[in-house]
Amino acid sequence: MIFGRSERGKPPVEPVTLKILVAGGFGVGKTTLVGAVSEIRPLRTEELLTEAGRPVDDTSGVEAKSTTTVAMDFGRITLREDLVLYLFGTPGQERFWFMWDELSEGALGAVVLADTRRLEDCFAAIDYFERRSIPFLVGVNCFEGAARYPQEDVRRALDLDEHVPLMLCDARDRESGKEALIGVVQHAMARASRRRAVTT
């Protein structure tokens, strides 16, 4: 569709944008969670893995280097006309971890999805956010047919710090996804105020 120039049209709203990451192992339900709470069908962005997009503008090697595509799915929640929350599912494969640095920069926080049948798949994500002091909570995705464990046992198995929230969730369920996101923001706020209390 071609739009004419609308000089007298109101300038578009320039919203404040925030992002929350959804991390976890392959097939744990990241895109499902994004899709459950997003107002749009999750969109896919791709990044070619070469030196492209790096601060160093060195094109030598780019042409000769084989590239890989990393796909990231993301969703959007318009909270107000001028306040929009984006959810990014992080690439699941560990070899794409360097992409996380760029994703996590400026992120409000993260949901780490865990599957009790393959808990070890989310260790790497937990490590990542712990080391970078990015607020996160663990959402145990309750797959049908998976055994339920007491939360304390899961916490212990994950060796979670006591202040990191852990909740049971269903990635397919919108309300459950909302709860997880609210949990992340509350956790981020609590951490920020603790930090302020320490510094002042």
Partner 1 sequence: MSADGQDRSHWFDDEAGPVVRPYAMTRGRTTSAAQHRLDLIAVVVTEPYADDPEDDPTLSPEHVDIVRLCRDSSSTVAELAAGLDLPIGVVRVLVGDLVDGAFVHVNRPVPPAELPDESILRDVINGLRAL
What's the min distance (Å) between Cβ of 193 and partner 1? 8
Q: Which is nearer to partner 1, 117 or 163 (CB)?
A: 163
The reply to whether 18 sits near partner 1 by the rule CB under 8 A is yes
> Of residues 26, 27, 43, 120, which one binds partner 1 by CB under 8 A?
43
| Nearest one of 21, 23, 42, 35 to 174, comparing CA atoms | 35
Whole-number Å distance between alpha carbons of 164 and 144: 25
The reply to whether 199 sits near partner 1 by the rule CB under 8 A is no
Cβ atoms 84, 19 nearer than 8 A = no
Count of residues touching partner 1 (by CB under 8 A): 66
The reply to whether 144 sits near partner 1 by the rule CB under 8 A is no
Strands across the sheet with 68-80, in order?
43-49, 68-80, 83-89, 16-24, 109-114, 136-141, 166-169
What's the min distance (Å) between Cβ of 169 and partner 1? 14
Tokens 């070899």: give the residue. 95
> Of residues 102, 120, 127, 153, which one binds partner 1 by CB under 8 A?
102
Chain centroid to Cα 54, Å, comes to 22
From residue 109, alpha-carbon distances to 57, 68, 116, 130 in Å are 31, 27, 22, 11
> Of residues 23, 33, 36, 86, which one binds partner 1 by CB under 8 A?
86
The reply to whether 198 sits near partner 1 by the rule CB under 8 A is no
99: its two tokens: 């992409």
The reply to whether 130 sits near partner 1 by the rule CB under 8 A is no
Q: Where do contacts with partner 1 occur on this chain (CB under 8 A)? A: 2-3, 5-7, 9, 11-19, 37, 43-48, 50-55, 57, 59-64, 66-69, 72, 74, 76-77, 79-80, 83, 85-86, 88, 102-103, 105-109, 174, 178, 181-182, 185-186, 188-189, 192-193
